[in-house]
Structure 1
């Protein structure tokens, strides 16, 4: 079957496939601390690099049952003793780059995935089997750590606690510090104990700075007309590349039929995504599914050509002012980048 539309795809994925996919995305396949470029106007960026280097070096010193094996009793107020490190900051400051650099610097068995990929792994294999498979990992990196429902809160907290107890170290990124997860999204008061128990395992590093993608592109996603969409698709296919073309509304409806953990298979092998007649969304579930898909398209560095409403305006004002504000703004940033010429240099995340 020749792939011409994303709505042709309804992929399935096994737990084993999910586990095998837990490595940094292609654009961070060679990320290192050395090629991260700190913005001199924001000292916290260099401080984060230094802290992550120290965290990585600490793993090499691990001995016996202690996390760092420094031959002294662990102090509660000693941040070096915590088994996790948490990168908090705005979108586009290089958090994912640094997380991938830490992964590359680590030795032993190591995993790298988004929050949704780990929850999908539990969904596919069950909690006990997931713990069994992940136990023994030296480092688990969790990108885009955002808790959108209380069930995920409790599950991920339990998973981290169980694996920390067996010696695994964690690193995570998010736009929200760990003691604030869930604020504005659900009744967090019922889950404060779980949230704080999880955050106690992490040293939080705040990374300030400007959004790299917005510095490198205009403030609006590039938009064309139907003829421009058709021309881009025809040119890609003439060059032997795989280009999909979908009506935006039909595509968004189709996303509801595919679990977000499978979106990575929807973009596999695709070279260009074309969307006709983009409209602004007013349904939050549709919007969150689009965010999850754009994350996978961004990881795959897939260019998007679109007509209708600019993709940067696809989320309505109530969404942009609600509890998922940071998630939507990050997605807008990524859609601006994907509809424009790819930026060069610096630290996209």
Structure 2
């Protein structure tokens, strides 16, 4: 951690590198709700870009989809007995797939769908693909099917298409849930090798989920990254002294040097990155450098997502976020994730500017 201010007048901030929380399975289930940033997301708070008619159309289509779900899952409020007749699979599309580039508001729309669906909160689940695979790992496949099969709606943000094993696992899970009458909604990331692709590809998603494709209606959403639409550029990185001083005077701030944090992330499972940020009000990082390899970069992407979900400002010294990932990484199969991370971290850096002003 960076050194304390010379006057030593403020209490020492915490360090993310000192945190390695354990997350019980019941917490994984209970936390499958829209993250704090999107707790207030509603269709009427989504601001469509007037130059992109597909955005306004998406709001209309998803509103109708939410209204059409209604009721409870096929299991009702009571668990279905093992000898009961298997319910007939719903006719027609039982899911929607939001197809668009980063920063067009897909997560906002997905969270709005969750909120608009007329079912109790405990009958709706919202999580990233990684969180869903973590749930299967914690509960086991059959228990996950039983738990989520009682739901009315499952929303999956950032459906991963770059791990064939996990894709098959989740596709099989979704097939079981569709049979139980669960409605599905998803966004996804591009496959490795899709070079030069600036947006998600619905054809990839529908092919990878194999037999489930008939249950999904692809919904394309065009547009530019709303996080930076009409906004000033994020501030340049500060010096170590400024970052350290702000960390010491900001209640709930953390302070770490970036290389040490990257090393720590390799020892904490990504499913626990959210819990690692519990109670943190600002993240202060000194000596930000380009990430050394792809495994490290992918862990950083997960952390960036959890910080963004929780609206935690990020104050840094060292290199700007635009230099985190090498040109080779930005041309590779995970480029979509890296650009999303840059976009989100840049927005959080902009938020952190007020801390310096104070």
RMSD: 2.4
In 2, distance between residues paired with 1:323 and 1:284?
11
4+ runs deviating over 6 angstroms: 61-64
Q: 1:25 to 1:342 in 2, by over 3 A?
A: farther
Q: 1:218 to 1:283 in 2, by over 3 A?
A: farther
Q: Aligned pair 1:284/2:284, yes or no?
A: no
Q: Aligned pair 1:294/2:304, yes or no?
A: yes
Asked whether the 8 Å contact 2:193–2:332 carries over to 1, the reply is no
Query: 2:256 is paired with a residue of what secondary structure?
Result: strand
Q: Aligned pair 1:106/2:120, yes or no?
A: no
Q: Deviations over 1:159-185 (max 9, x none)?
A: 100100110000112244xxxx45559
The equivalent of 2:261 in structure 1 is: 251
The equivalent of 2:63 in structure 1 is: 53
Query: 2:44 is paired with a residue of what secondary structure?
Result: coil
The equivalent of 1:96 in structure 2 is: 107
Structural mapping, 1:141-152, within 5 Å = 141-152=155-166
In 2, distance between residues paired with 1:118 and 1:271?
26
5+ residue gaps, structure 2 = 1-11, 75-86, 196-204, 354-358
In 2, distance between residues paired with 1:218 and 1:196?
43
Q: CA deviation at 1:268?
A: 1.0
In 2, distance between residues paired with 1:307 and 1:285?
23
Structural mapping, 1:1-349, within 5 Å = 4-60=14-70, 74=91, 81-108=92-119, 109-176=123-190, 181=191, 184=194, 195-218=209-232, 222-236=236-250, 241-341=251-351
In 2, distance between residues paired with 1:293 and 1:174?
18
Q: CA deviation at 1:199?
A: 3.1
Aligned residue pairs: how many?
319
In 1, distance between residues paired with 2:128 and 2:167?
15
Q: Deviations over 1:326-348 (max 9, x none)?
A: 111011000110001379xxxxx
In 1, distance between residues paired with 2:277 and 2:230?
24
In 1, distance between residues paired with 2:314 and 2:104?
22
Q: CA deviation at 1:144?
A: 1.2
Q: Deviations over 1:176-210 (max 9, x none)?
A: 4xxxx45559xxxxx99753323332111110011
In 1, distance between residues paired with 2:343 and 2:208?
31
Q: CA deviation at 1:155?
A: 0.5
5+ residue gaps, structure 1 = 69-73, 75-80, 186-190, 344-349
Query: 2:185 is paired with a residue of what secondary structure?
Result: strand
In 2, distance between residues paired with 1:138 and 1:41?
34
Q: Deviations over 1:107-154 (max 9, x none)?
A: 231011111110000111111111111111000011111233111011
TM-score, normalised via structure 2 length: 0.83
In 2, distance between residues paired with 1:124 and 1:274?
32
In 2, distance between residues paired with 1:169 and 1:327?
26
Q: Deviations over 1:20-77 (max 9, x none)?
A: 0001111211211111111110000011011101111211389996677xxxxx4xxx
Query: 2:209 is paired with a residue of what secondary structure?
Result: helix
In 2, distance between residues paired with 1:30 and 1:220?
25
Q: 1:320 to 1:11 in 2, by over 3 A?
A: same
In 2, distance between residues paired with 1:63 and 1:232?
49
Q: 1:61 to 1:25 in 2, by over 3 A?
A: closer
